[in-house]
Structure 1
């Protein structure tokens, strides 16, 4: 793993915008100056052996997470996840039905010298997808056409949607996101997922979640044309949906209306999962010690809200590393994970976003920050695998 400087393509900004990357707040460089969200003046190089090892580790982690769900349900510990009690039965039933899932993103600490360490699993509403799948692939083919990249995201998403045609009730599929997202990222990401489903043969319809209707007489969800919604992909967090009566209608609609990602993903996208994994697999080389509601023996740790996003409400405890971020999360409780600082490359700290589609490893995206916490000031940078 190496960080390499290189010349950006002439007109790179117009190129990435034409590919859909029209969002992203500026990052910050090591001198505190603004840095574009997409930065192709640097990239990371990996050896193929590294990538093959990482692919295997990601699939092992995914399998461990699925086993953790069985453990959570068997030991009846959904109370540890800060989710409303009325939702527990619905979450359990979603898992027992094997409600279908599409994708997820592991955030990993990796320095090229030892095993990757799981920081969290974005299993419900992962973003930075377009960057990882489309934008960095075109960067590679434009500048390094003879090299490779850990990136089969687009092909695997189309293939996965194709598998869903035998599972979902019809070939009509709705797509929704929150219109309250002013950045446009959720809208563009949802549109990209819609494109991959259409390529797989679905008849797709998009509408903001604020415009998803409910027919109280027939007790079913409907779109703006009053047509019934039988299957719907949502880029809207389950914990937000479960926070009001809308979420109760969603859970009661299952499985006649199939929501993707499925309700059982609430257990994987919650940072309480980190503590469950450590209990089940203590000492595993891809895990860091993690505990619920108390740091136990840890003297250097990061405290994470169970339902936090974008690095919000995190606190780092460690000599000379004390850091805290603001936000609106934390009422649901915290997880304490051993602090293993992100490695430094030229003063920047990369986090690896390793994608899984279905149950298969599918690609890599890298975000960099100056600080120890990867937040909304991060910058996305591409990667390649040089051919020797």
Structure 2
């Protein structure tokens, strides 16, 4: 594993705009990095990223099967008691899931370590599946990359296959907060994959979803929403006034994914698989063992974009982020150093499509806490 620099494509911004990648800059800062790449050997991809990701996913699915049956564990994960039956019924119904992203710490030397599982509303799928592949093709044609380079990237074809497992017997709605460029771009890309899989689709703002007299969700045309991909977190949906109308089989990701998108899985996984090479010691913050982690990362169970995260080294706080999750339950996870080059710290995003590891996306940040200003950097497998 290494980080290399190379000339950026002279027309990459025009290419980004042409394919709807308007969020290549966000918050006034560059998001896409065109003049650098992370390099891997094929063995690193297959043995240290792909295979461990699938093994971790199996552990996670076993955990859902246990948690869904346990009111005590659901409560421990801060899932509202009134929604416990929804989680259980969604799991029993076998509600299909679509995708998720493991965030891993890996430096090319030891085992990849699970930091968290973005199993509900992960973004960066468009840039991982589509734009970084085009980057590799262009850079190879320009001579900046040697012939024979490849990527761990089966994402687009895997997404189309995954959408094809959902029967095309009704409109497949897509919903997000449309004012957010990244969320809208992510939904637009996934909607295109669904069209390739044979679905009739429609998109609407998450705030425009209504409820009819029969308690069914409806769109702005008063059509029943029978199946909907939503880029809106389950932890929020479960607490909305409309939560009483939620039922299995409607939303993608399914309600049982609320278990896996919860950072409380970290201590629960460690409790069940202590010593696993791809897990880090982790405990609930009120567990006395959490205080004995000299080097630790303290995270709210529902934190997003690296908000309200505390990095502690030798018992002292060395880095801390602000945010909106300060009042939530927390977990403490042993600190794992990220791959660092050129003053940047890299997190590996290993994508699961269905139950299969299907691709890699790299994000880097000047901070050791990956936040909303992190940058996406393409990767290549070098021959």
Q: CA deviation at 1:331?
A: 2.5
Given the alignment of the two structures, is residue 87 of structure 1 paired with residue 79 of structure 2, yes or no? no
Summarize the Cα distance change of 1:208–1:304 in structure 2 as closer, same or farther, 3 Å threshold.
same
Q: Runs of 4+ in structure 1 displaced over 4 angstroms?
A: 24-27
Question: Which of residues 304, 308, 318 in structure 2 aligns to 1:313?
Answer: 308
- Give how far 1:26 is off: 5.3
Q: Is the 8 A contact 2:24 2:31 kept in 1?
A: yes
Whether the aligned pair in 2 keeps the contact of 1:313 and 1:325 (CA below 8 Å) is yes
- What is residue 30 of structure 1 aligned with on the other side? none
Q: What's the counterpart of residue 220 of structure 1? A: 216
- Counterpart Cα distance in 2 of 1:223 and 1:133: 29
Partner of 2:268: 276
The alignment covers a number of residue pairs equal to 371
Give the Å deviation of 1:171: 3.8
In the other structure, the counterpart of 1:190 is: 187
* Displacement after TM superposition at 1:47 (Å): 0.5
CA root-mean-square deviation: 1.6
Q: Is the 8 A contact 2:294 2:312 kept in 1?
A: yes
Alignment CA distance shift 1:23-1:343 (3 Å):
same
1:156 aligns with 2:152: no
- Out of 53, 57, 63, the position equivalent to 1:62 is 57
Distance (whole Å) between structure 2 residues aligned to residue 270 and residue 24 of structure 1 = 28
CA shift, 1:366, in A, is 0.3
The SS at the match of 2:360 is: strand
Give 1:175's aligned residue.
174
> Given the two structures, how large is their TM-score scaled by the length of structure 1?
0.92
User: 2:32 — aligned with what?
Assistant: 38
Q: Is the CA contact (8 Å cut-off) linking 2:284 and 2:331 kept in structure 1?
A: yes
Q: Which runs of structure 2 are paired with 1:224-373 in the superposition (5 Å)?
A: 224-251=220-247, 254-255=248-249, 258-294=250-286, 295-319=290-314, 322-373=318-369
> Which 5+ residue runs of structure 1 have no aligned equivalent?
28-33
- Deviation of the 1:330 alpha carbon: 3.5
Deviations 1:45-84 (A, max 9, x none): 1111111111101000100100111222344311111121
Query: Residues 67-113 of structure 1, C-alpha deviation per residue, up to 9 Å, x if partnerless?
Result: 11122234431111112110111111111111110000000000011
**Corresponding residue for residue 142 of structure 1:** 138
Q: Evaluate the alpha carbon distance shift between residue 117 and residue 99 of structure 1 in structure 2; reply closer, same or farther with a 3 A threshold.
A: same
Query: What is the match of residue 21 of structure 1?
Result: 21
Q: Which residue of 1 aligns with 2:42?
A: 48
By how many angstroms is 1:341 displaced?
A: 2.1
In 2, Cα distance between the equivalents of 1:309 and 1:287?
20
SS in 1 for 2:303: coil
Match of 1:121 among 117, 123, 133: 117
CA distance in 2, matches of 1:142, 1:41: 12
Which range moved further: 242-251 or 362-371?
242-251
User: Structure 1 70/296 Cα, relative in aligned 2: closer, same or farther at 3 Å?
Assistant: farther
Alignment partner, residue 31 of structure 1: none
Residue 25 of structure 1: how far off its partner (Å)? 4.8
Q: Deviations over 1:334-370 (max 9, x none)?
A: 0100111212122211000010001001100000111
Q: TM-score if structure 2 supplies the norm length?
A: 0.93
Residue equivalent to 1:71: 66
Which stretch shows the higher mean deviation, 116-125 or 242-251? Answer: 242-251
